[in-house]
C-alpha cells in the first residue's frame, strides 16, 4: 500500500532500482514544487518538459475536446507523469491540475537528456518512436471516450425532450388538421400540409439524433426518384431561403436509386443549412446537382456554396462529432450525421473548400442496395 506522502525525491519509486553516480546527478538536478488545490501544473501547449514525480497529493489530467475539458485520468503519490512529452520533445497535449494540494518533484528535460544520452543512439531513437506511437494512440482513445460520454449524455437529453414535446407536437398537428378540414383556400391547405410535414420531420430528426447518440442507425431503403426528393426539400425550404435572400439552384438528372428518403432529406438539410450560415445575407447562392456516374452503378451529387469556406482549423477533423466553428448555437453534430448517412448508404463524401470563396461537397452514392423493402 502506497504511503500518504514521500519524504524526498530520492525515495520516489522512480529511483527504486537506480544506483550509481548518474542517478545522483538526477537527484541534484531535480527540484521540488508545491501546488495548491486546483492549480495548473502545466497546460496544453506548455513547454516545461521533464519527468514529474508525485511526492504528495493527487493530480488530475484533462483532455480538450472542442472548447471543453474532460477528465481522463487521476494519479496519486508515487506516480510519474509528463514523461511522454519529454520523450517526444513535443508540447504537452493534456492539462495537469493539482486535485489536492500537491508536492511535485521535477527532473528537468536537460538532466534527463544527459542521462539518456548514454544509451546507444539507435536504441534511444527506437524508444522515442515507441513512446510517440503510444502517445498518439492514447490520445485518440481518450478523445473517443470523451465523445462517447458526450453522445450518451446528449442521447438522454434528446429522449427526455422528445418525450416532453410529444403532446405539444400532437396539438400542433391536430390544430393544423382541423384548420385544413374547414379551410377552402388552396394556400391554407398548402400551409397546413407544410406544418404537419415539418412537425413530423422534427420528430424524425429527434429520433435520429437519439439513435446516433447510441451508436445505432436504421435505414428504410426504398426505390426513390432523387429529383422528387430534392424538389420536395427545396419546396420545404423556400420560405426560409426567401426570407434570408438566398438562391438555391438545382440540376438533378432523372434517376432512380435505392435510398432512405428521410435520410437523404436530412443530409440535404444539414449541408444546405451549413452553407446558408456561411454565406453573406442577400448574396448567398447554393447549387445542388446530381447525375449518374460513368460506371452506371452510382450517382454523383454536388452541393456548392459561395460562402466563407471551411476554417482551416477544423478541416482535418471536420467529420468528427462536436467539431464546430463560428456557430453560437451549433453543437457540431450535423456533419458527422451527414457522414453516417452517406456511410449507411455505402457511399463516400468529400469536400473542397477555399477561404472566402466557398465549399463544394461531392457525394457518391450507389444506385442499388442489396436489400430494399
- Final residue of a structural domain among 85, 118, 151: 118
Residues 200, 123: Cα–Cα separation, whole Å: 63
| 3-state SS assignment for residue 341 | helix
The pairing of beta strand 222-225 with beta strand 256-259: antiparallel
Residue 218 forms part of a structural domain = no
DSSP run (H or E) holding 363: strand 358-366
- Final residue of a structural domain among 118, 148, 179: 118
Most confident of 144-148, 175-179, 215-219, 292-296: 292-296
Residue 195 forms part of a structural domain = no
CB 87 within 8 A of CB 131: yes
Residue with cell string 460513368: 294
Percent of the chain whose pLDDT exceeds 70 = 72
Residue 35 forms part of a structural domain = yes
Residues 64, 143: Cα–Cα separation, whole Å: 8
Q: What is the dihedral sign for C-alpha 232, 233, 234, 236? A: positive
Residues 342, 249: Cα–Cα separation, whole Å: 22
Total of domains in the chain: 2
Residue 176 forms part of a structural domain = no
Domain, as residue range, for 340? 231-366
Residue 217 forms part of a structural domain = no
Mean pLDDT over 175-197 rounds to: 81
**What's 49's domain CATH number?**
2.60.120.10
**What pLDDT does 206 receive?**
66
| 3-state SS assignment for residue 68 | strand
Mean pLDDT over 61-77 rounds to: 81
Residue 50 forms part of a structural domain = yes
Residue 141 forms part of a structural domain = no
**What pLDDT does 52 receive?**
92
**What pLDDT does 42 receive?**
93
pLDDT grade, residue 298 (50/70/90)?
Answer: very high
Could you report the per-residue pLDDT of 1-11, keeping only the tens digit for each? 455 888 888 88
pLDDT grade, residue 277 (50/70/90)?
Answer: confident
Residue with cell string 458527422: 336
For 209-227, b/e burial (b = at least 16 CB within 10 A) is bbebbeeeeebebeebebb
Cα angle 343, 333, 280 (rounded to 5 degrees) comes to: 105
Residue 70 forms part of a structural domain = yes
pLDDT at 140 over 90: no
**What's 322's domain CATH number?**
3.30.565.10
Cα angle 302, 304, 310 (rounded to 5 degrees) comes to: 115
**What pLDDT does 342 receive?**
93
**Nine cell digits for residue 249:** 439552384
- Final residue of a structural domain among 95, 118, 141: 118
Most confident of 39-43, 204-208, 279-283, 367-371: 39-43
Cα-based distances in Å from 166 to 156, 171, 172, 258, 331 = 16, 9, 10, 31, 23
- pTM, two decimals, is 0.53
Amino acid at each position: 500500500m502506497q504511503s500518504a506522502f514521500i519524504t524526498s525525491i530520492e525515495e520516489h519509486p522512480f529511483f527504486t532500482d537506480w544506483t550509481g553516480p548518474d542517478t545522483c546527478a538526477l537527484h541534484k538536478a531535480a527540484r521540488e514544487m508545491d501546488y495548491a488545490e486546483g492549480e495548473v501544473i502545466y497546460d496544453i501547449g506548455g513547454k516545461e518538459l521533464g519527468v514529474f514525480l508525485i511526492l504528495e497529493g493527487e493530480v488530475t489530467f484533462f483532455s480538450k475536446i472542442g472548447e471543453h475539458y474532460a477528465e481522463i485520468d487521476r494519479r496519486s503519490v508515487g506516480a510519474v507523469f509528463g514523461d511522454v512529452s519529454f520523450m517526444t520533445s513535443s508540447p504537452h497535449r493534456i492539462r495537469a491540475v493539482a486535485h489536492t494540494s500537491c508536492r511535485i518533484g521535477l527532473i528537468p528535460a536537460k538532466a534527463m537528456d544527459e542521462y539518456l544520452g548514454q544509451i546507444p543512439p539507435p536504441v534511444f531513437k527506437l524508444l522515442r518512436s515507441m513512446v510517440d506511437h503510444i502517445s498518439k494512440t492514447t490520445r485518440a482513445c481518450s478523445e473517443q471516450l470523451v465523445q462517447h460520454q458526450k453522445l450518451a449524455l446528449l442521447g438522454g437529453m434528446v429522449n427526455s425532450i422528445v418525450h416532453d414535446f410529444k403532446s405539444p407536437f400532437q396539438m400542433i398537428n391536430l390544430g393544423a388538421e382541423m384548420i385544413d378540414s374547414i379551410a377552402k383556400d388552396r394556400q391554407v391547405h398548402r400551409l397546413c400540409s407544410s406544418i404537419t410535414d415539418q412537425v413530423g420531420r422534427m420528430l424524425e430528426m429527434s429520433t435520429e439524433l437519439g439513435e446516433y447518440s447510441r451508436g445505432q442507425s436504421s435505414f428504410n431503403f426504398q426505390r426513390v426518384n432523387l429529383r422528387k426528393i430534392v424538389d420536395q426539400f427545396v419546396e420545404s425550404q423556400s420560405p426560409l431561403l426567401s426570407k434570408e435572400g438566398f438562391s438555391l439552384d438545382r440540376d438533378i438528372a432523372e434517376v432512380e436509386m435505392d435510398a432512405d428518403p428521410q435520410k437523404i432529406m436530412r443530409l440535404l438539410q444539414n449541408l444546405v443549412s451549413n452553407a446558408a450560415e456561411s454565406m453573406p445575407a442577400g448574396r448567398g447562392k447554393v447549387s445542388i446537382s446530381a447525375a449518374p456516374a460513368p460506371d452506371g452503378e452510382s450517382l454523383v451529387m454536388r452541393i456548392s456554396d459561395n460562402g466563407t469556406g471551411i476554417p482551416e482549423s477544423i478541416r482535418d477533423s471536420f467529420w468528427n462529432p462536436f467539431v464546430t466553428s463560428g456557430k453560437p448555437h451549433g453543437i457540431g453534430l450535423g456533419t458527422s450525421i451527414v457522414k453516417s448517412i452517406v456511410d449507411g448508404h455505402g457511399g463516400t463524401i468529400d469536400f473542397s473548400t477555399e477561404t472566402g470563396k466557398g465549399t463544394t461537397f461531392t457525394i457518391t452514392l450507389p444506385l442499388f442496395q442489396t436489400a430494399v423493402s
